[in-house]
A and B are shown apart, each in its own frame.
Chain A
Amino acid sequence: MSMDYKKFSRRVLCLALLMPVSTVAAELTVAVASNFTAPAKYLAEEFEAQSEHQVRLVFGSSGRFFAQISNGAPFDLFFSADQEKPQELIENGLAIDDSLFTYALGGLVLWSRDEQLIQSSPAVLSSNQFSRLSIANARHAPYGIAAEEVLSNLNLLANLQSKLVRGENIAQTFQFVFTGNAELGFVAKSQVYQDDILISGSAWQVTEDLYSPIRQDAVLLQRASTNDAALAFLAFVRSSRGRSIIRSYGYVVGD
């Protein structure tokens, strides 16, 4: 028993000696709103390639992340789908005030898998060509609030009420349309466009005068205030390379 232990501790010592004396590499965990899934993966991949750091991405709804962060979840950065939640975290002393910035403005798209259904206009919404319209839940999802705003500006909200199905977040809203259970839905532009080209199906890019801008804020969380990896990742996201990656997924990014 004691022999084994000695052998074991010698091995551990050898391993420890092989490690670099001071480790520059650090790991960070980022909570990302589901609409930003694709660009976040791409950003993390490129960031990891050019630095020593490791990025762990967690995707989900901003509301759930808010609740988790308020209860001590081990996240370093929070990329919310709105502005209210990061702001409230700052007010609650859980996030760092001067790290707050708008990383993207989301675009809203009416999308269908059927290539014929949407003629680059909202005309289909006042037709009888569909039985289910998928939108995100407007009670807490920013893309859902925007979708209801569009419908009410088009004077269609009351008429379409019985056809609405609500996803818990924009990922599920997309999933309902993707599986064909809803013929069309209001999804995030980042989910169906790549480099300004529609990946599949048919779509109408909702004109910006029909909904208030979907400003998405990111914030450094209190526990990571001295985490070099987190600061480096934020700097990368704000760099011109980072911004052009975000733009390529259909978001508008300020200069």
Chain B
Amino acid sequence: MGFSEADIGAILLTLRLATTVTILLLLFGAPLAWWLARTSSRFKGPIGALIALPLVLPPTVLGFYLLLALGPNGPIGQFTQSLGLGTFAFSYSGLVIGSIFYSLPFVVQPLQNAFDAVGERPLEVAATLGAGPVDRFFSIALPLAKPGFFTAAVLGFAHTVGEFGVVLMIGGNIPGETRVVSVQIYDHVEALAYDQANQLALLMVVFSFLILLSVYGMQKKSHRQVLRFSQ
């Protein structure tokens, strides 16, 4: 097994992208999941549904709309241009934006389930002992929801690694910038380089299996379903 320089470049880029996206999603996703778990607002349903959309939409739909939105005439494109940043399609930043939308439910839902499972009681007890809302979040909810954070991080990471349709639509296949492993595999197949495609594809299978094994192993330990795709 020998990976070419281009293959290794694609692997490193994919890992960098997945890491960046996972960190950002945990930062943004945690408050969002916390709100969804605790609120009784009438917006809870619509916002939950909006977040879950990438689970059911074909990636081409997301990719196509992102391509239009990121373009010079799209809303995101006009915004980034007005900031003097140019447009984001065909760039690493563009991929980060796309992947955040794409992997959002895989991070928010396990976190929301974990916060749900914490329940009201420990928080109420903390409140009667004089803990403020911020203190309650950081010293009660966060530690109790730790397994949820683990699942969210692993799934968000793995899902971003497995991303293809969105990247194909907005990536433009630039080495070191947007050519991730899944696109590289596609290219190998298109170029009839089946041996190289096979090597990388096999790597993806093994990697994905190990990731899922770690999540299910964790679930068994905590006797609780952490992966759930509904309200």
Of the 9-residue stretches B39-47, B63-71, B97-105, which lies at the interface with chain A? B63-71
A139 vs B186: C-alpha distance in the bound complex, in angstroms?
12
A181 and B87 in contact, given A61-B190, A64-B189, A64-B190 (Cβ under 8 angstroms): yes
Q: Indicate if the CB atoms of A140 and B191 lie closer than 8 Å.
A: yes
A182 and B186 in contact, given A67-B192, A139-B191 (Cβ under 8 angstroms): no
- Which chain A residues (168-203) contact chain B, with CB distance < 8 Å? 168, 172, 175-176, 179-182
- Chosen A-B contacts, 10 in total, with CB atoms closer than 8 Å, are A63-B189, A63-B192, A64-B189, A64-B190, A131-B86, A137-B173, A165-B172, A168-B173, A176-B90, A181-B90
3 shortest interchain CB distances as A-B pairs: A165-B172, A63-B190, A166-B173
Question: Dominant SS at the B interface?
Answer: loop
Indicate whether A66 reaches chain B with its CB closer than 8 angstroms.
yes
- Which chain B residues (174-193) contact chain A, with CB distance < 8 Å? 174, 186-187, 189-192
- Which residue among A139, A165, A172, A181 has the maximum number of chain B CB atoms within 10 Å of its CB? A181
Indicate whether B72 reaches chain A with its CB closer than 8 angstroms.
yes
Indicate whether B36 reaches chain A with its CB closer than 8 angstroms.
no
Q: Indicate if the CB atoms of B87 and A63 lie closer than 8 Å.
A: no
- Which chain A residues (40-68) contact chain B, with CB distance < 8 Å? 61, 63-64, 66-67
Indicate whether B93 reaches chain A with its CB closer than 8 angstroms.
no
A179 and B172 in contact, given A63-B192, A132-B90, A137-B190 (Cβ under 8 angstroms): no
- Which chain B residues (103-134) contact chain A, with CB distance < 8 Å? none
Task: Enumerate chain B residues within 8 angstroms of A61, measured Cβ to Cβ.
Answer: 190
Indicate whether A34 reaches chain B with its CB closer than 8 angstroms.
no
A230 vs B28: C-alpha distance in the bound complex, in angstroms?
56
**Residues in chain A within 8 A of chain B (CB atoms):** 61, 63-64, 66-67, 131-132, 134, 137, 139-141, 164-168, 172, 175-176, 179-182
Size class of B's contact patch? 20 to 34
Task: Enumerate chain B residues within 8 angstroms of A167, measured Cβ to Cβ.
Answer: 172-173
Q: Indicate if the CB atoms of B187 and A179 lie closer than 8 Å.
A: no
- Which chain B residues (50-106) contact chain A, with CB distance < 8 Å? 67-68, 70-73, 86-87, 89-90
Q: Indicate if the CB atoms of A140 and B73 lie closer than 8 Å.
A: no
A66 vs B172: C-alpha distance in the bound complex, in angstroms?
23
Task: Enumerate chain A residues within 8 angstroms of B186, measured Cβ to Cβ.
Answer: 168
A168 vs B171: C-alpha distance in the bound complex, in angstroms?
10
Task: Enumerate chain B residues within 8 angstroms of A131, measured Cβ to Cβ.
Answer: 86
Task: Enumerate chain B residues within 8 angstroms of A67, measured Cβ to Cβ.
Answer: 189, 192, 194
Give the Cβ gap from A178 to chain B, nearest Cβ, in Å. 10
Q: Indicate if the CB atoms of A179 and B90 lie closer than 8 Å.
A: no
Indicate whether B17 reaches chain A with its CB closer than 8 angstroms.
no
Q: Indicate if the CB atoms of A168 and B72 lie closer than 8 Å.
A: no
Indicate whether B168 reaches chain A with its CB closer than 8 angstroms.
yes
Q: Indicate if the CB atoms of B68 and A179 lie closer than 8 Å.
A: yes
A228 vs B190: C-alpha distance in the bound complex, in angstroms?
31
A63 vs B192: C-alpha distance in the bound complex, in angstroms?
7
Give the Cβ gap from A183 to chain B, nearest Cβ, in Å. 9
